[in-house]
Every structure is written in C-alpha cells, then in structure tokens.
Copies of this chain bind each other. A is one copy, B any other.
Amino acid sequence: MCPGEVLVNIVAIAGGVGGAKMAHGLVQAFPGANLSIIVNIGDDFEHFGLKICPDLDTVCYTLAGLANPQTGWGRADETWEAYQVASQLGGPDWFHLGDRDLGVHLERTRRLLAGQPLSQVTRDFCEAWGIEAKVLPATDDPVPTWVETAEGSLPFQEYFVRRRCEPEVRSFSFRGIEHARPAPGVLEAIRQAEAIVICPSNPWVSVDPVLGIPGIRSSLVEHRQTGCHLAAVSPIIGGKTIKGPAAKMFAELGIPPSALAVAAHYEGLVSDFFLDAVDSVQAGPIAELGIRPWVTDTVMNRVEDRRRLAQEVLGRLRVEKGEMLA
C-alpha cells in the first residue's frame, strides 16, 4: 500500500456511545470503505424475558440516524406507554424501555428463540435500517459482564444502570468468554483490514470483552505483525470521560485515570494512540511504551467532529503505514 492510497478495509472495535460516534465518523469520512464494526456484547442482558443488546443498538441507531442525541441511548421520538404500564404494575423501572426500542427487542428475541444467531439478526436489522457498514457482534455466544464490587458481584446492567456505577469496582469477569467463538466475519474482517481502530470506548467493560474472546486478540496481534496499524483513541480526556464510568473504574482499581493509563492497558496490542490536546504532556510517556502518540482534538460533540477525528485517525495511519512500508 502506498502513501495516499485510499483505505478500503477498516475495522472498528466499539462499545456504546463513544464507539457509536467514532463508527459514525468513519462512515461519514470514508463512505466507500468496507467498514466492519466489531461491537461489545458483554453488556447484553435479559429483561422482562427480552434480549437487550445496548451497545449493538446504540451503534445501529446512531448509524441509522435513529439515535436519541440527548441521552446517548435509545431512540429519538420515543414513546413510553409499555414501560409506564409495566412500572404501574410493579415492574422494575430502572431500565428505561421506549416503545420503538421495545419493537427491536421483541423481534430480536423472537428470532433468537427461533434459533437465529445474533450476528444474523443484526445483519438483517442493519439491512432493514439501510446501514451499509458491517455491524458484527463480537460473538454469537453469551459473555455476560459481571462486576465484582465492594458490595458483591453484580450483573453489568445492575451495576451500570440500576446502581448508577456507585459500588466500588474490584474486577470484571465475562462469564463463559473462554468458550465463546468470534462471530462469523469477525476474524475475516481483522485479517483483511488495512487499519484497525479501537474506538474511544471503556477499556474495561466495552473493549476487554471483545479482546478476551479466544482468537480475537491473537488475530489482532498477528495482523499487526503483517504491517497493519492498530490504533486506539483515548476515552479519557483530562482525567475524565465524556460519558460512562471508565475514569471511576481506573481510580477504583488503583490506576490514576489518564490517556496514558488507557495506552498502557493496550500495551503490546496497539501501534498508535490518539489522545486529546489537553493531555499532550502524556505523549512522551506513551511513546516510551512503544506506542506512537498522536495529539488531536478527540471530543466528538457534533457530526463534523466525528468525521474530522475519523479522517485524522485514518489519515495518520495511512501516512505512517506508507512511510513504514516505503
């Protein structure tokens, strides 16, 4: 591949909100690319008997233009009739379920019960929504995230939504991950990629449950050895997160939350690391980890921000790769 050549095969590894924004930026910036988005399913859970996949839905709703831009979850123009009735009957009200969102969970649950794998369901939904990117659940197998806290083990959504991340975190586990298999298309996408980007998602509960699926991390490492760049974008800016509990988790695990801490988490995996300009002093220490640091504006409030960041990330990787191969 030569400098300036257009990237055609891109892989993004994504959790929820930050991952969805980055994926959206990549779609905007490289509309002709073959973009595969490998999405965390560790926070999937069953509620009212329905299978709910928060990260998959956030990514899909964002790409389809259906997302609620205010909340970061759920759909725009939502109604709440079913949720209100269930709550009035004594049902749990800690996880908000909009009526349109419910329609997705209903049909997903129906198909899963009929034996369709999640990757197939997601493919069909993306087709119905006009999403051209390949949205791939990391695995079709359940790998539910449990959070070990000072108050005991909690299923992820109980910790994240019901308890609002209040209990102090000690560790995470992704139950059954040792037996999970990458979903169809995941390893192929990695092997074909000219660039791979770990989105600014939570390293602990959004990216680790993807990397921990047997075969995924090793495929990433192998593929990087062929010359493919593997970048991560820091979800931590100025010691905080735009959204979500990553910074709180780092602190509770005894690691000062910083872009450097995220880079160190990915040491041995990523070749490039994008950190925000407010954290520029951490570029040096990141370089000492053997990771190329890139300082830029990583906040993605507007669609233009998403596109610009995606362009910059892919642009850097392309130039760098061309230079390395030259």
Contacts and interface: CB of A to CB of B under 8 A. Distances in A.
B106 A86 contact: yes
A85 B103 contact: yes
Given A85-B100, A97-B106, 14 more contacts: A48-B50, A49-B113, A79-B79, A79-B81, A81-B99, A82-B100, A83-B103, A85-B102, A88-B128, A89-B103, A89-B107, A89-B124, A89-B125, A91-B106
A113 B46 CA distance: 11
A173 B49 CA distance: 28
The 3 closest A-B pairs by CB, nearest first: A85-B103, A81-B99, A82-B103
Given A49-B109, A49-B113, A103 B81 contact: yes
A128 B89 CA distance: 6
A28 interface: no
A84 interface: yes
Interface of A: 47-51, 79, 81-92, 97-100, 102-104, 106-107, 109-110, 113, 124-125, 128
Contacts of A106: 48-50, 82, 85-86, 91, 97, 102
A78 to B, nearest CB: 8
A128 B81 contact: no
Contacts of A48: 50, 106-107, 109-110
A109 B47 CA distance: 10
Contacts of A84: 103
A293 to B, nearest CB: 43
B79 A110 contact: no
Contacts of A92: 110
A48 B102 CA distance: 11
A311 to B, nearest CB: 33
Nearest to A66: B85
A84 B100 CA distance: 8
A90 B109 contact: no
A64 to B, nearest CB: 12
